[in-house]
A and B are shown apart, each in its own frame.
Chain A
Amino acid sequence: MTLEEKVIEVIRKNSETVETVPSDADLVKKVGVDSFGMIMIVNAIEDMFSITVEEGDIAAIRTVDDITRLLRTKYGITE
């Protein structure tokens, strides 16, 4: 499973309604993730990769691509 697929799986498992998640889609405006939903996603990613995401980085997340980019560049996670 690629990093992108892992992130998409996290988003789906931490949502009641999200079914498909295009990697470039705005999670809030297009996918329907709300503020609590975003917190659940970030918490799950922190647990999965044993990291702590900084608040400023959370605010900058718009898409799956943003999350995978953050994981690669800041935390050295590639898969």
Chain B
Amino acid sequence: MIDTTVYNRLAVDLHLADALQFNPYYPDVQSRKPGKVKIGDRWLIDCASNDYLGLAADSALKKNYADTISRYGVSLCGTPIAAGGNRLLKEMEARIAQFTGCEDAMTFPSCYQANVSLFRTLCTKEDVILIDHYAHASLAEGAKATGCRIMPFLHNDCDYLEKLLKRPRPKGCVFVVTESVFSTEGALAPFDGIYTLCERYGAVPVIDDSHGIGVIGTGGAGVLSHFGIHRYEGIYTASLGKALANSGGIIGGGKNCITALKYRCPGSMYSTAVPPAVAAGVLHVLDRLQNEYQSLRDTLRKNVDGINAVIDAKGFQRAAGAAPIISMKCGSIENTLRCARAFFNNGMVVTPFIEPSVPPGKGVVRIIPGAGVAADECREAVSRLDNGWREN
């Protein structure tokens, strides 16, 4: 007899979603066009996706996918080290390295997988990982899986980090791990200061730029450009499925590091390669950013500023992050879900973050009004939001 009691460990309490008759997670998306998403029979303003520049449903990008698929097929059905390797992937990796300011880069099916695989491949038990308290789950899980000592530092606190770096050095290496843009609040890491500390104390910086690439830096080049860091000697990771409007993730770094990871990192070697159409799609977006970035970025900023003005006028609280992410403070799990439901009823999809993604009682609704959404529709949807979601 199969022991099915094991599944009881995974029980999820959905009573609140049932009581509210609203579950924002795993939406039933049926179609998508720039700035809009169809859920059920309703077209809604899409402020839940990370399509910052509004390119993911763009007709030219879709045609690029179709053309590439007609040449290569949907998938090469192989790992990048074997049958999945292809010219487009190599070209995309070289371009993305150049774009972000890294010497070389390699691709993964997702940035989550890149982050988890990176630490498991690179770290030994004699190393120490200093990690921002609020770093993304993929970085935390990757660090925990190494078995080496983990020392978190207070969120974005360089003084705290320096105290840890001043401790006696371990036998192995010291890694300093953070994100460029923290996606639940829109705060930027003080990565210039962190990088300086890494240089001063001989540590290895690891920066996840998933919400920075295509959003900050000159031409959308990301965090290294934003902080004017040249000849970066650390490790860089990023998602290709956010502002770059495709899917997959990358690790960037020095040539020696990337070559070694290509032959040693199971998360890449044993995963089906990112399809050629995705590689071509990223190349297409990078080409377009050369001419269109500033205009798209200005639209994104204008959308954010417009919604922020309405939120402030209505007296709602929001985090004061510098990135184009609106994080509306809701508090309890109940209020956060009610707020997301109110937005949904007003024709707008947003992302509610509840514990454990945020500290208890610190729930937020995240709004990303990408360059593809209509600013007036967004402001209208927010302006119709009343206080009804605040029930406790």
Given A16-B133, A16-B155, answer yes or no on A39-B360 (Cβ-Cβ < 8 Å): no
For A32, give its contact among B131, B134, B359 (CB under 8 Å).
B359
Per-residue interface assignment for chain B, residues 150 to 170, with 1 indicating a CB less than 8 Å from any chain A CB and 0 otherwise: 111111000000000000000
- Whether A39 and B150, one on each chain, are in contact in the complex, defined by CB atoms closer than 8 angstroms, is yes
Instruction: List residues of chain A with CB within 8 A of the CB of B361.
Output: 32
Nearest CB of B to A66, in Å: 20
Instruction: List residues of chain A with CB within 8 A of the CB of B360.
Output: 32
| Residues of A contacting B: mostly | loop
A34 to B359, CA, bound (A): 8
A37 to B153, CA, bound (A): 9
- Whether B154 and A36, one on each chain, are in contact in the complex, defined by CB atoms closer than 8 angstroms, is no
Task: State whether the Cβ of B356 lies closer than 8 Å to any Cβ in chain A.
Answer: yes
- Whether A36 and B359, one on each chain, are in contact in the complex, defined by CB atoms closer than 8 angstroms, is no
- Whether B140 and A17, one on each chain, are in contact in the complex, defined by CB atoms closer than 8 angstroms, is no
Per-residue interface assignment for chain B, residues 117 to 150, with 1 indicating a CB less than 8 Å from any chain A CB and 0 otherwise: 0000000000000010110000010000000001
Given A36-B131, A36-B140, A37-B133, answer yes or no on A17-B359 (Cβ-Cβ < 8 Å): yes
Task: State whether the Cβ of B95 lies closer than 8 Å to any Cβ in chain A.
Answer: no
- Whether A43 and B362, one on each chain, are in contact in the complex, defined by CB atoms closer than 8 angstroms, is no
A36 to B150, CA, bound (A): 9
Not counting A17-B359, A39-B151, a sample of 8 additional A-B residue pairs whose C-beta atoms are within 8 angstroms of each other reads: A16-B154, A16-B359, A32-B360, A36-B131, A36-B133, A37-B152, A39-B150, A43-B151
Task: Using C-beta atoms within 8 Å of the partner chain, give the interface range for chain B.
Answer: 10 to 19
- Whether B356 and A34, one on each chain, are in contact in the complex, defined by CB atoms closer than 8 angstroms, is yes
Number of interface residues of A (CB under 8 A): 11
Instruction: List residues of chain A with CB within 8 A of the CB of B150.
Output: 36, 39
Which residue on chain A has the smallest CB distance to residue B152?
A: A36
Instruction: List residues of chain B with CB within 8 A of the CB of A40.
Output: 133, 151-154
Per-residue interface assignment for chain B, residues 344 to 360, with 1 indicating a CB less than 8 Å from any chain A CB and 0 otherwise: 00000000000010011
Task: State whether the Cβ of A14 lies closer than 8 Å to any Cβ in chain B.
Answer: yes
Nearest CB of A to B277, in Å: 38
Per-residue interface assignment for chain A, residues 1 to 38, with 1 indicating a CB less than 8 Å from any chain B CB and 0 otherwise: 00000000000001111000000000000001010110
Chain A 20-67 interface residues, beta-carbon cutoff 8 Å to B: 32, 34, 36-37, 39-40, 43
Nearest CB of A to B156, in Å: 9
Which residue on chain A has the smallest CB distance to residue B355?
A: A32
Which residue on chain A has the smallest CB distance to residue B150?
A: A39
